[in-house]
Copies of this chain bind each other. A is one copy, B any other.
């Protein structure tokens, strides 16, 4: 299981290439929810999300790979393409054939090779791993990888060193890479700070797994506006870290997610994608159960309004 040493090492490794993102305050937002809020602004990270941290940490630990491969049409794909750029090697991004055209264009726009012929949601990972094997490239998993977790944990390392006297940190949960890393950093540096995961109620496999004490997977990809957390279950490697170091998990409604996103846009002027608004959605729905001084990890900002 990863420890704080891996997070420190990841931070030293990726620091020359990435931003130490700022922590934003918004008086108007705080008045609205009657809490002190410390907003870790990962939309301002390179590639527009925290995913560049884990992908780059993984990539920098590889022994001279000839290329990188990811199976993702979202922020992880951008993270891997960015990491490949740092290494000066090609990136291959594997996406299902029916991925919307705008996402395919975006992948090509950041300089990656798109591979979609004959690819489905079901065979995507297998195709990506086969391509990696055939070409001698490295496949980078979006979350179930200790180097990826340690890289994502640098978000928590930064947050607790940027803000003193936090009482809890709220973190979006999909496959669990971000929260596993963040919990590792927070519990080592500020053990009194509660680490609370947030996922959509429409995709509440992590809450179910946490309560049951074993991984429970969804049968079908869930329908939620929070498209960054449509994973079927927590990872084999992320789940034990979450069991040991996370204090609680909360599930929020689609309505709360959209309201939280709109509040972030209009009050802070920061573009946050729905997945990145999960922590604020939990503040809106569970205010009485939460302490006063909250760190919210706004995980990404890769979003455009309809019609743009």
Contacts and interface: CB of A to CB of B under 8 A. Distances in A.
A296 interface: no
A88 interface: no
B305 A265 contact: yes
A209 to B, nearest CB: 32
A79 to B, nearest CB: 15
Contacts of A302: 266
B262 A301 contact: no
Chain A residues touching B, range: 10 to 19
A39 to B, nearest CB: 12
A269 B306 contact: no
A304 B266 contact: yes
Contacts of A43: 269
Interface in A18-63: 43-44, 48
Interface in A255-270: 258, 261-262, 265-266, 269-270
A77 to B, nearest CB: 16
A111 to B, nearest CB: 12
Given A270-B270, A270-B271, A265 B306 contact: no
A219 to B, nearest CB: 31
Contact of A44 (B48, B269, B308): B269
Nearest to A298: B269
A46 to B, nearest CB: 9
A16 interface: no
A126 to B, nearest CB: 32
A272 B271 CA distance: 10
Interface string A142-163: 0000000000000000000000
A266 B307 CA distance: 13
Nearest to A110: B28
B304 A265 contact: yes
A33 B43 CA distance: 21
Nearest to A272: B269
B304 A262 contact: yes
A266 B44 CA distance: 11
Given A48-B269, A269-B271, A270-B269, A306 B307 contact: yes
A262 B302 CA distance: 12
21 contacts: A43-B269, A48-B269, A258-B308, A261-B308, A262-B304, A262-B305, A262-B308, A265-B308, A266-B271, A266-B302, A266-B304, A266-B308, A269-B270, A269-B271, A269-B301, A270-B271, A271-B271, A305-B305, A305-B306, A306-B306, A306-B307
Given A258-B308, A262-B305, 20 more contacts: A43-B269, A44-B269, A48-B269, A261-B308, A262-B304, A262-B308, A265-B304, A265-B308, A266-B271, A266-B302, A266-B304, A266-B308, A269-B270, A269-B271, A270-B270, A270-B271, A271-B271, A305-B305, A305-B306, A306-B306
Q: Which 3 A-B pairs have the closest CB atoms?
A: A305-B305, A262-B308, A43-B269
